[in-house]
């Protein structure tokens, strides 16, 4: 009898732990829908390191709400990152996002991509695809000074510009919270948008 009680307690604790992140996701969604974006972002950051424990549809929802929260708060590079992940995850594992969420994510990504890519060309002649092919391991190749608009710097103005920190070596990270406020954690490196 004692063993049965112990076994049932252990099993109930295990099942409760599995639902914790799903509960956080639901709570964060509610805060987002109540326009309490700062509070929702705090929940998203709790979930971030354990997002792999969520089901694929829940991951799409997490990525969507994380991206839209960042978008609403003005963290545009973070928003673009998370919304891009949400869109890719939804394409690979459909069913996590409602049609209105997909539409909203597409609208936000269009807005964010216009900001980053302008008219979808670099230097007037290089296409987005050509620019992407120059990238190595997610970090853009050194920009050609002839292709940059006058006054543009490596980290600002004219191009995609996800570069390492000013000293040239990027700090290792596992989440955005380990990077400075001007940086995002991309492929386990703190990068300046």
Domain ranges of the chain: 7-117, 161-193
Q: What pLDDT is recorded for position 193?
A: 63
The C-alpha atoms of residue 57 and residue 159 are separated, in whole angstroms, by 33
- Is pTM, for the whole model, over 0.75? no
Given the candidates 1.10.3470, 2.60.40, 2.60.120, 1.25.40, the CATH classification of the domain at 7-117 is 1.25.40
The C-alpha atoms of residue 82 and residue 94 are separated, in whole angstroms, by 17
Q: What pLDDT is recorded for position 119?
A: 54
Burial of 77 (0-12, 13-18, 19+ CB in 10 A): buried
- Kindly report, residue by residue over 138-176, the tens digit of the pLDDT: 444 444 444 434 333 333 333 333 443 344 467 887 777
Q: What pLDDT is recorded for position 9?
A: 45
Q: What pLDDT is recorded for position 97?
A: 95
Q: Confirm if 158 and 145 have CB atoms less than 8 A apart.
A: no
Q: What pLDDT is recorded for position 19?
A: 61
Q: What pLDDT is recorded for position 3?
A: 55
Mean pLDDT by 10 residues, the chain (193 residues): 49 50 93 95 94 94 96 94 96 95 95 79 43 47 43 36 46 77 75 71
């Amino acid at each position: 009898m004692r063993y049965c009680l112990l076994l049932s307690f252990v099993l109930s604790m295990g099942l409760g732990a599995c639902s914790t992140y799903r509960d956080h996701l639901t709570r964060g969604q509610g805060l987002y829908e109540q326009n309490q974006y700062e509070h929702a972002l705090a929940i998203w950051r709790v979930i971030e390191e354990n997002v792999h424990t969520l089901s694929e549809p829940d991951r799409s929802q997490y990525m969507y709400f994380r991206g839209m929260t960042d978008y609403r708060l003005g963290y545009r590079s973070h928003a673009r990152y998370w919304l891009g992940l949400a869109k890719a995850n939804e394409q690979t594992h459909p069913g996590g996002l409602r049609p209105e969420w997909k539409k909203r994510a597409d609208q936000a990504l269009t807005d964010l991509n216009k900001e980053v890519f302008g008219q979808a060309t670099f230097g007037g002649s290089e296409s987005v695809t050509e620019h992407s092919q120059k990238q190595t391991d997610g970090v853009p190749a050194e920009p050609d000074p002839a292709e940059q608009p006058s006054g543009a710097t490596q980290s600002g103005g004219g191009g995609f510009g996800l570069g390492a920190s000013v000293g040239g070596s990027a700090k290792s990270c596992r989440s955005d919270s380990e990077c400075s406020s001007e940086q995002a954690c991309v492929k386990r490196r703190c990068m300046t948008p």
